[in-house]
Chains A and B, each alone.
Chain A
Amino acid sequence: EDKVVQSPLSLVVHEGDTVTLNCSYEVTNFRSLLWYKQEKKAPTFLFMLTSSGIEKKSGRLSSILDKKELFSILNITATQTGDSAVYLCAVEGSGDDMRFGAGTRLTVKP
Chain B
Amino acid sequence: EAGVAQSPRYKIIEKRQSVAFWCNPISGHATLYWYQQILGQGPKLLIQFQNNGVVDDSQLPKDRFSAERLKGVDSTLKIQPAKLEDSAVYLCASSFLGYGEKLFFGSGTQLSVL
Residues of A within 8 A of B (CB): 4, 6, 31-32, 34, 40-45, 48, 50, 88, 90, 92, 95-103
Contacts and interface: CB of A to CB of B under 8 A. Distances in A.
B102 A31 contact: no
Contacts, number: 59
B99 A44 contact: no
Contact of B48 (A34, A41, A97): A97
B14 interface: no
Nearest to B31: A96
A29 to B, nearest CB: 11
Contacts of B99: 31, 92, 96
B45 to A, nearest CB: 5
Interface of B: 33, 35, 40-45, 48, 55-56, 89, 91, 98-108, 110
A88 B108 contact: no
B107 A96 contact: no
A100 B105 contact: no
Given A97-B45, A101-B42, A42 B108 contact: yes
11 contacts: A40-B107, A41-B108, A42-B91, A42-B105, A44-B105, A45-B103, A48-B102, A50-B100, A98-B45, A100-B43, A102-B40
Given A31-B99, A41-B89, A95-B56, A100 B42 contact: yes
Contacts of B110: 41
Contacts of B98: 96
A88 B43 contact: yes
Given A32-B100, A90-B42, A97-B33, 4 more contacts: A34-B103, A96-B48, A97-B55, A98-B103
B55 A96 contact: yes
A14 B108 CA distance: 30
A41 B104 CA distance: 12
B42, B45, B48, B110: most-surrounded residue (chain A CB, <10 A): B42
Among A34, A42, A92: residue with most chain B CB under 10 A: A42
Nearest to B105: A42
